[in-house]
Chain A
Amino acid sequence: MPRLRKHLLVLVGMLAVVVGTATAPASAAPSAPAAPASATESTSAAWPKVTRTTIGSATGTMSVAAACPVTVYGYRGTLLCGATAMEIQWSPGRLEFFGIATDRTIWHVWPNSGGWKVMPGNGHADDIYDGWWQGSARRVFVHVNSNDSYWYSDDAGPGWNGWHRW
């Protein structure tokens, strides 16, 4: 019950701070043949559990790089409005949130992290696409709209290892 309550609080918090929250599609990616197989909005027994969120537009006129303020796990940040962000529960109680900043850099945050951190590797993308366990490594996918490409980064221990094209 405490865990369920915690998850509900996080979800409610996210919904409250993201202005104009929209319902995420079942799969955020176009069905290009090269796309990595995406997890569904996971309620299945498989891990990790993935929850997608489309960052809402800021009040006022929507610009190309409109900034939407968000607060996740108590840490305030600014993400790109309209981009897909994602909360990944890697294992019971182990949460991590990934999002795209207005300059298209990729950021993540987790409970007690001290704040938002930019993902290593100087990556730029338009949406967070998916995440899963690749063997014993965490793997996160992002999507780049301009050339419809998918990129991933792994953390098998020493840290996130930069971005690699799928």
Chain B
Amino acid sequence: LQALAADLRLDANAVDYVLLAIYFVLVLGIGYMARRHVSTSMDFFLSGRSLPAWVTGLAFISANLGAIEVMGMSANGAEYGLPTAHYFWIGAVPAMLFLGIVMMPFYYGSKVRSVPEYMLRRFGKPAHLVNGISFATAQVLIAGANLFLLASVVNLLLGWPIWLSVIVAAAIVLSYTALGGLSAAIYNEVLQFVVIVAALLPLTIVGLYKVGGWQGLVDKVSAGPGGPEQLASWPGNQLTGFSDNFLSVLGLVFGLGFVLSFGYWTTNFVEVQRAMAAKSMSAARRTPIIGAFPKMFIPFIVIIPGMIAGVAVTELSGENKAALMAGGDAPSGATFNQALLLLMRDLLPNGMLGIAIAGLLASFMAGMAANLSSFNTVFTYDIWQTYLRRDRPDGYYLTVGRVVTAVATVFAIGTAFIASTYVNLMDYLQQLFSFFNAPLFATFILGMFWRRMTPTAGWIGLVSGTASAVAVFILSESGVWTLPGQGAAFVGAGAAFVVDIVVSVAVTTVTRPKPAEQLVGLVYSLTPKETRQHETTGDDAGWYRNPALLAGIVLVITIALNIIF
């Protein structure tokens, strides 16, 4: 393995380091500029709800384009091939459209400052506390995972010690998020999106050239260990672990496409926060829809490089890939997680290498900054202000937000070393999403559309759903129920959703609902229809700003992509 690490070391020269330095100066400069616009806690935590839709839309997608997404999806591309695109076309885009069209009016219209705050107003304190604490804990853990991946990549590529990489990266992210709050994080995410694309697009083009174009890639994947089924996104048996086509499609559509995906995209405050920072209801609704446009095409610069690595990188192709697909160790010692790095090593010259490294670092920092900026908001508003120190001046909470950002960064450094003990972070995180996001989505969807649902049903449903996902996980881990691939997460998510719904309905029938006047703006039937209609005046005027029309265009393109591939 040490030999492999030495093989991965990139021959970065002065040009690459200058490009990296320019990038970091820009990142810190954005933080400094954003600081001048922060005077209230709302400015710090929600950018004063002042940002245009295209900025929040790109930030929405960039916040998700973190280390785990870029490295993990490339690894999945190398292992499973084109079916990995389901994470985008089935597992993201429909849910993003649903968030923009259906759910955003409740979030933005009710003027809540966070997703847990919606839980507080809809279901009361027990459900709020469960959601707030689990979300805050998860963000620190995921920030640590992002940080660890960043450090391990810097260590492999440039030879810096892990501890030094962790501290330097944490210090940079802390600097701009603590200075400029959400605005700094969002504007940096826009920059990071550009840098990530600038890094991955040339890698994809050069990679395709090397394997003989698209047809060359098709031929090589067909001949390789994955075979032709890695070139069609449906039915995705290798990805789901189901050998039966019907069950595989059902697992993808219901488990990934509905429960896991809707759970992640519609209730995860890391994402929803970007839309909440938009300057109007229309802009907030357009945020995830604008984000869906690039999201549809990200597979082409993330998954395809992974597929290229699976046929063109010696350490990952042939018998190595076959052994890794079987769950064993490759004779080369490489893993799918190194797909992108190995491809960069093989293909990129100096200069392009600097941009590519900057792109990877950008994705790691975008992910971590998103974790930190959503954590500090939930901790300050939903835990500190709600349960510990109420009714203090606004400046007090602004200070708390900055201090908490620093404390969370220190914790993230600690959890980075916890993350280092896990072999496959992608599988681990999918599992976490099945525990927490899937039942949360069930509670939200029921609570938003069924005014009778009671506060007691809210928290009992959540806990029951999580418990059922954990039970599926235990059955799978103990070998009682064999679910290879990421099938355990899909089935767990489905179980969590169904159990949450059933328990919530049952508990609602024997407990007392909230009075209707307390639910105005929080549930569908009690929310004025005008809030869901497109504004045709001012900054929101114009057919091209109509959320429903934009969503329709995205949907048509997504369906076309599913048919073509």
Contact = CB atoms under 8 A, between A and B. Distances in A.
Interface residues of A, number: 25
A159 B216 CA distance: 11
B322 A48 contact: yes
B312 A45 contact: no
B122 interface: no
B207 to A, nearest CB: 14
Contacts of B328: 45
A102 B314 CA distance: 39
A108 interface: no
A160 to B, nearest CB: 9
B482 interface: yes
A93 B321 CA distance: 13
Interface residues of B, number: 27
Among A47, A93, A135, chain B packs the most CB atoms within 10 A around the CB of A47
B226 A157 contact: no
B319 A132 contact: yes
A158 B311 CA distance: 13
Interface stretch (A1-9, A18-26, A59-67): A1-9
Interface in B186-230: 212, 216, 219-220, 222-227
A53 to B, nearest CB: 21
A134 B320 CA distance: 11
Contacts of B227: 90-91, 94
Contact of A90 (B238, B243, B322, B329): B322
A138 interface: yes
B222 to A, nearest CB: 7
B319 A133 contact: yes
A46 B329 CA distance: 10
Interface string B309-324: 0011010011101110
A157 B219 contact: yes
B212 A157 contact: yes
Interface in A68-114: 90-94
Interface of B: 212, 216, 219-220, 222-227, 238, 243, 311-312, 314, 317-319, 321-323, 325-326, 328-329, 331, 482
Given A136-B314, A156-B220, A157-B216, 4 more contacts: A91-B326, A133-B225, A135-B317, A157-B212
Interface of A: 1-3, 6, 45-48, 90-94, 132-138, 155-159
11 contacts: A46-B323, A91-B326, A92-B326, A94-B226, A136-B220, A136-B312, A136-B317, A136-B318, A137-B223, A156-B220, A157-B222
